[in-house]
Amino acid sequence: MRDRLILLPGWGLGVSPLEPLAAALRGLDEHLRVEIEPLPMLASSSLPDWLDELDATVPENVWLGGWSLGGMLASELAARRGDRCCGLVTLASNPNFVCRDDWPSAMPVATFDAFLTSFRDAPNTLLKRFCLLCSQGAADARGLAGLLLAGAPKAQRDVLVAGLELLGSLDTRAALQAFNGPQLHLFAGLDALVPESVATQVLALLPDVEVGLIEQASHAFLLEAPHELAAAIQAFLHELGDD
């Protein structure tokens, strides 16, 4: 179903941040069915558990996309499905959210570990801090952070901790290389969580895919620039539809 795009949200903030983008995409193409699928509510940080849950709920033969952690999971699900996935779109999604020796453009390990430890002790405080990090670089960072926090669903701490642990352990490079379908990866130039340099690294890893950069935007560019993102995605889908 090349006219259907399923979007997965990022960690902790629910489906609300994706809604402006979904609306903008529908406005550009009335034939494109855009749906947002919530992340699994699992207390497990095992990737196979998350993929099994998504595989059972997300339709096959559709475009898969996602923001941040959602983009990482969409990448893994696309690789698992292979020809049963039309293509992949990721948004501010680092193949490694946390630094590795061979992937330096990511969050330092010590910073991530400190955040995870602090979140276990004071989840509400750390979720507010996370929203501020998401919006850092935006013209109205505090206003944007407030929108993110207001739309965040109430989730059990164990579920959020499991999601964080998964985010810290995921390395989607092999999945991205294994998936032979079309790929579009969009990044934000002022992102405080996923460095701008990731765009260059992804292109080096995957020279045959499309990579784009929204220069004056934060990690929460879904809310800052939904129409710009929608135009880039729609152009990508339209180009492939003409092939």
What whole-number distance in Å separates Cα of residue 95 and Cα of residue 103? 9
Whether residue 243 lies in the annotated active site:
no
Whether residue 191 lies in the annotated active site:
yes
Would you say residue 240 has pLDDT above 80? Answer: no
Domain ranges of the chain: 4-242
Q: Which of 93, 185, 191, 218 is catalytic?
A: 191
Q: Which of 218, 219, 227, 243 is catalytic?
A: 219
User: What's the predicted TM-score (pTM) here?
Assistant: 0.97
Residue-wise pLDDT tens digits, 36-69: 999 999 999 999 999 999 999 999 999 999 999 9
Structure tokens at 163: 């999601």
Residue-wise pLDDT tens digits, 198-209: 999 999 999 999
Residue-wise pLDDT tens digits, 6-21: 999 999 999 999 999 9
Domain 4-242 has CATH 3.40.50.1820: yes
Whether residue 31 lies in the annotated active site:
no
Name the residue type at position 220.
A
Q: Which of 68, 75, 93, 218 is catalytic?
A: 68
Give every CB contact of residue 61 below 8 A, 6+ residues apart in sequence: 1, 84, 85, 86
**Helices 157-169, 109-121: inter-axial angle, 10-degree rounding:** 170
Would you say residue 243 has pLDDT above 50? Answer: no
Structure tokens at 144: 């944007």
What is the end-to-end Cα distance of the chain in Å, rounded? 16
